[in-house]
Structure 1
Amino acid sequence: MAAPVNPLLNSVSREADHAPQGLQPALLLPLTQTDTKELGPTLPVSSFDHVDLQAPSSTEGVLLSDPLPSYTPLSGSTCSSLTAPAQTAPFTTPPASPQNANFLPAQSTTVLPPSFENMAASGVGESYHPVLHHWFYCAEPQGWKPFTFSDSFNLEEAFMQGSAEPVATEGGRHDVYIQDRVRKPVYWEESESKAVRRCSWFKKSALDQHPQPYTEEQSALLEEEYRACVTSGQWHRQVNLPDGDKVMIHSPRAIIHYVGAGLEGEYPTAVSVNGSQAPLTVRRGTEDFEIEDGECEQVDHLLFLVHGIGSVCDLRFRAVEQCVDDFRKLGQNLLSTHFKQSKEMGEIGRVEILPISWHKALHGDATGIDEKLKPITLRSIPKLREFTNDTILDVLLFNSPIYCQHIMDTVASEINRLYALYCKRNPGFSGPVSLGGHSLGSVILFDLLSHQKADSEESSTDGVSSTTDDHSHCDKNRANSMTSPVDYLMGASGTGQPSVAYPKLSFKPEAFFLMGSPIAMFVTVRGIDTIGPDFVLPTCKRVFNIFHPYDPVAYRLETLIDPSLTNVRPVLIPHHKGRKRMHLELKETIERVGSEFKQKIVDSIQGTWNRIYQMYSGTSTQASIGEQVDEALASQLYLGEEEGPPSTGSGELAITVGRLNGGRRLDYVLQEKPYESFNEYIFALQAHVTYW
């Protein structure tokens, strides 16, 4: 009975009539022209990466009739290579695949084509080049993500020098401690430090979106065995990992990781022994990753963003720090696409955005509000009640003089702290600083900026307000009686913030950006119908109210200043690709054509009725009727410009809206997506968090 042949070799050599019983088939190397006439048909070879052939110096007329060497890993060794017996040709074979164990050999001899020797020998004698290491950090749940090229270079340089100092990465927002292999944020706090790894070898399953790196010890072991394979020219090397897995190095491009391979020599191909997953593909180096070059070191503008209610900011339940990361990347992409030439020439830098979080301080141990709410909260529908206490209740807490003071102190002190820390770490920064707020965060900043003092007011006062002002008078008799008197001060923002001392910011904002802001609603509820055209923020001269058309929380500011501007549409923000979206242009065209057609019908009916009345009254002549017909035809053929205020050419009407934004427009509306226009109510909740 013929012995099975390794299925990785698709060409099998056997003698048709002279193969001794009990021996493996004879393997023929290329023979002379006369000898090949007696041989059978030749089968193609399709898998060369799994074969390592060392041909003798003279291949003419060589017949290998001895059995092929079997693959037997060396027991007790981490790695083992294949060696052929002395009496046989130096030909190595990989382990047989279990599902092809019953493969029946062909009953004819086969001659190896000349191309087989060239391709099999392509992995032999290659020069070894050390792998380039790249630094990664753990970013759950996405897995491991690579640092930029510039950050990885700085980390590698610090690693080679054995530096114990933290290395600033990602624009200085995170510090990496090389010796501890951890990554910590600079401007905010995280519950756990992220792990950092120096990577060179990676594994990937069919379910993984990105390859996952091996540990540094495993990568060093694989690299050492790979070097041995390249320098010796002997492949099909087995590497036993400390966790029980096995890695087979067949060629530079064929490396397989077997999970839970079990006993020596057992190599499952479909499902691992523990039933977890199929064999993994192994990659050397970072060819499968798209790694960015790095952020621009020049910072032209600094922006602080304050979140709204709740601890999460979008429908993916991400914190404000994660949302700001996407917000920052979006700004960098727009700079690269719309200001590419200026960016390449170094004329512009980037915008640094830092988050301001106040929710944790409000619901922490300092206030104890969560513990106070537990006894009075019903036990039914616990998830919904927990959501209400954690998010919607923030609006009521803001309107409470006790907790409003805590929110104001937290936001102001956090802004001042981050600004001082940023200037300390970036002493060369001299650009403008702006503030931005989403939802309730914009109301907090509006009240804070409304109570800032201008330079003239500060010079006329004896003391200077700061974040360390004495707020003891705000807590007088509040904890003892629910009917204790409270002094409601009528100010520019109404009566909604009684007995609150507003801290002072350590800088003057360049601009104030509002996203989905309910400021106008809060001011109206406080008893103020209009703030008037003379209303300004003492230390901030530019205000932009940005909102989505379907956002149920957003309100306009222009009509709060001047109610006569109700029919004036907000400024439509251009799409980043230019112009307007197609469905908006179509909608406006239909509205314009419809209104013109309706007006023409009305004018035509009215003109016809007047002519008929004139004819029967006898006051009309044939000449006057002809003149009226000519006028009607001319009016139908003439297409004039739309009536309305003049435009500036960018979609913004040239009208003056108070002093809040220096007389310029305040309300800016985003363009909704085509599928959002089908039903406004379905995408209302999504519209409120779409700004990130």
Structure 2
Amino acid sequence: MIPNNHSNCSDHLVFFIHGMGQQYEKYGNLQHHVSTIQKNTTNLLSSRYPEKNLRVKYIPIEWHSEVQKRVGTDILKSTLATVPNVRLTINDWLLDNFSKPHGQYIIDSVCKQCDVAYQNHKLEYPEFDGHVHFIGFSLGGIIAYDVASMQWFNQDGLPPWKNKLTSEQTCQMPDISVPQLQFKIRYVFTCGSPIDYIQYRPPLRTRVYNIFHPFDPLGYRLEPMINSDYILEPVQIHRLKRLPKIPNLGIRSSIAGAKPLLQSIWQYVSSSVTSNIQEVRMGTKRKEGDNDDITPIHKRRKLTHDVSVTLGGIQGKDGLSYPRTDYVLSENMIDAYASEWIIALKSHFRYWANRDLALHMIKVFLSDENVALH
């Protein structure tokens, strides 16, 4: 094997599933995002693990245009002509956040693209015998999780919605048909994705990393859904060395003219995504009270009830043992001075450029090979 050469066969194939907005299908933004995380991964492998023959390849999966094909023309005809740039942006968020009628279309498109990309990779590199993973951002993480949750094979045992569980652990099969992929999913990395674990989950062979920035309004924890008495803080992702962090002296910069608009847009987007999460989740139904324990990390109440934590994992109320799932990134130096609305936008839409995230994924991939990490 040729180390760190991504033009050759990859040991790890990662499908990059984008989040909200038309920005991903135009102007080459999706390709730019994938290129950025690919470059960060390659550079970190070369600088930190030059002796390892690890190769990682990211492949973009673009689903937004599939929704546009169905409803884009109608909504454009209904859009007012005033403030066109703002209205086009809101249209994109509306289409993506309220996509329940188009959920099957999105799932079919994502699964088909993944299968085709996987087969093309196998045709080009018949010797490929590596792992396949998903990384999804915002709504893309929800899509990735939904697809992975329906990839149960006979050797995986019964899916949770077919097991007899306690009333608070009742799982429901999602009201959508998910094709069985031509490959098994090893890891799912979700970034700023409000996932409803209670309803259903992937088989245990597929490990989920729920990654969030501490200031991301759409970042939520999963571990309290496994056991509501879980009291440990999320795992801190290793922070690469940067310039010394300047303390926050109470000086917050803001763009005065843009702040009211950013505030209202962000409040609308964050509230619509979280309050309509089942709309995004392609028709699944949540029972009242299922998600009562899910609150932002900085507002979580410290609990002291007994909870079984063994080998870095947690004993779920379904009787199974789960590895750690919640992982938090570190804030940046600029976060000390930017307004909270700028921080919120930046933290939610910049996961793909975060080098700490790329390094975390590398460490996860290397851990499969029992490599000593540093």
> What is the TM-score when the length of structure 2 is the normalising length?
0.66
Q: Secondary structure at the match of 1:448?
A: helix
1:82-121 equivalent positions in 2, closer than 5 A? none
Residue in 2 that maps onto 1:312: 23
Residue in 1 that maps onto 2:120: 421
1:340-355 equivalent positions in 2, closer than 5 A? 340=50, 342-343=51-52, 348-355=53-60
Residue in 2 that maps onto 1:300: 11
> Residues 542 and 662 of structure 1 are in contact (CA less than 8 Å); yes or no, is this contact kept in structure 2?
no
d(CA) in 2 for partners of 1:512 and 1:549? 20
d(CA) in 2 for partners of 1:313 and 1:376? 23
Question: Using a 3 Å threshold, how does the CA distance of structure 1 residues 404 and 444 change in structure 2: closer, same or farther?
Answer: same
Question: Using a 3 Å threshold, how does the CA distance of structure 1 residues 581 and 672 change in structure 2: closer, same or farther?
Answer: farther
d(CA) in 2 for partners of 1:317 and 1:550? 28
> Residues 152 and 202 of structure 2 are in contact (CA less than 8 Å); yes or no, is this contact kept in structure 1?
no
The one-letter code sitting in structure 2 at the alignment partner of 1:385 is R
Q: Which structure would you say has the larger RCO, counting Cα contacts within 8 Å and 6 or more residues apart?
A: 2
> Residues 210 and 325 of structure 2 are in contact (CA less than 8 Å); yes or no, is this contact kept in structure 1?
yes
Question: Using a 3 Å threshold, how does the CA distance of structure 1 residues 322 and 667 change in structure 2: closer, same or farther?
Answer: same
What are the Cα deviations for residues 65-86 of structure 1, in whole angstroms up to 9, with x where unaligned? Answer: xxxxxxxxxxxxxxxxxxxxxx
The one-letter code sitting in structure 1 at the alignment partner of 2:61 is I
Matched, 1:333 2:43: yes
Which ranges of structure 1 fall in alignment gaps of 5 or more residues? Answer: 1-170, 172-292, 460-490, 524-529, 588-644
What are the Cα deviations for residues 507-541 of structure 1, in whole angstroms up to 9, with x where unaligned? Answer: 11111111111114xx6xxxxxx45xxx6413742
Residue in 1 that maps onto 2:163: none
Of the candidates 307, 314, 329, which is equivalent to residue 656 of structure 1? 314
RMSD (Å) for aligned C-alpha atoms: 3.6
Residue in 2 that maps onto 1:411: 110
Structure having the larger proportion of residues in helix: 2
1:449-488 equivalent positions in 2, closer than 5 A? 449-456=148-155
Residue in 2 that maps onto 1:555: 220
What are the Cα deviations for residues 469-488 of structure 1, in whole angstroms up to 9, with x where unaligned? Answer: xxxxxxxxxxxxxxxxxxxx
Residue in 1 that maps onto 2:86: 384
> Residues 313 and 689 of structure 1 are in contact (CA less than 8 Å); yes or no, is this contact kept in structure 2?
no
Q: Once the two structures are aligned, what percentage of the paired residues are identical? A: 32
Q: CA deviation at 1:360?
A: 1.5
What are the Cα deviations for residues 303-338 of structure 1, in whole angstroms up to 9, with x where unaligned? Answer: 111001113259x97522221011001001111111
Matched, 1:445 2:144: yes
What are the Cα deviations for residues 222-256 of structure 1, in whole angstroms up to 9, with x where unaligned? Answer: xxxxxxxxxxxxxxxxxxxxxxxxxxxxxxxxxxx
What are the Cα deviations for residues 8-56 of structure 1, in whole angstroms up to 9, with x where unaligned? Answer: xxxxxxxxxxxxxxxxxxxxxxxxxxxxxxxxxxxxxxxxxxxxxxxxx
d(CA) in 1 for partners of 2:233 and 2:62? 33
1:448-597 equivalent positions in 2, closer than 5 A? 448-456=147-155, 492=171, 498=175, 500-520=176-196, 530=198, 536-538=201-203, 540-565=205-230, 567-577=231-241, 583=245
d(CA) in 2 for partners of 1:458 and 1:505? 18
Which ranges of structure 2 fall in alignment gaps of 5 or more residues? Answer: 159-169, 249-305, 353-374
Residue in 1 that maps onto 2:96: 394
> Residues 151 and 203 of structure 2 are in contact (CA less than 8 Å); yes or no, is this contact kept in structure 1?
yes
Residue in 2 that maps onto 1:75: none
> Residues 19 and 140 of structure 2 are in contact (CA less than 8 Å); yes or no, is this contact kept in structure 1?
yes
Q: Choose 1 or 2 for highest CA Rg.
A: 1
Q: CA deviation at 1:675?
A: 2.3
The one-letter code sitting in structure 1 at the alignment partner of 2:177 is A
Question: Using a 3 Å threshold, how does the CA distance of structure 1 residues 427 and 386 change in structure 2: closer, same or farther?
Answer: same
Of the candidates 44, 49, 73, which is equivalent to residue 371 of structure 1? 73
Q: CA deviation at 1:296?
A: 6.4
Matched, 1:686 2:346: yes
Of the candidates 13, 16, 31, which is equivalent to residue 321 of structure 1? 31
Residue in 2 that maps onto 1:358: 63
1:244-323 equivalent positions in 2, closer than 5 A? 295=6, 297-312=8-23, 319-323=29-33
The one-letter code sitting in structure 2 at the alignment partner of 1:304 is F
Q: Secondary structure at the match of 2:119?
A: helix
> Residues 311 and 319 of structure 1 are in contact (CA less than 8 Å); yes or no, is this contact kept in structure 2?
no
The one-letter code sitting in structure 2 at the alignment partner of 1:558 is E
d(CA) in 2 for partners of 1:311 and 1:493? 32
> Residues 433 and 510 of structure 1 are in contact (CA less than 8 Å); yes or no, is this contact kept in structure 2?
yes
Residue in 1 that maps onto 2:327: 668
Q: CA deviation at 1:300?
A: 1.6
> What is the TM-score when the length of structure 1 is the normalising length?
0.37
Q: Secondary structure at the match of 1:656?
A: strand
Q: CA deviation at 1:569?
A: 1.4
> Residues 442 and 515 of structure 1 are in contact (CA less than 8 Å); yes or no, is this contact kept in structure 2?
yes
Question: Using a 3 Å threshold, how does the CA distance of structure 1 residues 657 and 557 change in structure 2: closer, same or farther?
Answer: farther
Q: Secondary structure at the match of 2:185?
A: coil
The one-letter code sitting in structure 1 at the alignment partner of 2:129 is S
Q: Secondary structure at the match of 1:511?
A: strand
1:37-186 equivalent positions in 2, closer than 5 A? none
The one-letter code sitting in structure 1 at the alignment partner of 2:344 is A
The one-letter code sitting in structure 1 at the alignment partner of 2:20 is I
d(CA) in 2 for partners of 1:572 and 1:458? 32
Paired residues, what number? Answer: 279
The one-letter code sitting in structure 1 at the alignment partner of 2:208 is V
Q: Secondary structure at the match of 2:59?
A: strand
Q: CA deviation at 1:379?
A: 2.8
The one-letter code sitting in structure 2 at the alignment partner of 1:548 is H
Residue in 1 that maps onto 2:287: none
d(CA) in 2 for partners of 1:360 and 1:564? 42
Question: Using a 3 Å threshold, how does the CA distance of structure 1 residues 507 and 298 change in structure 2: closer, same or farther?
Answer: closer
Q: Secondary structure at the match of 2:127?
A: coil
> Residues 558 and 657 of structure 1 are in contact (CA less than 8 Å); yes or no, is this contact kept in structure 2?
no
> Residues 156 and 203 of structure 2 are in contact (CA less than 8 Å); yes or no, is this contact kept in structure 1?
no
Q: CA deviation at 1:662?
A: 5.8
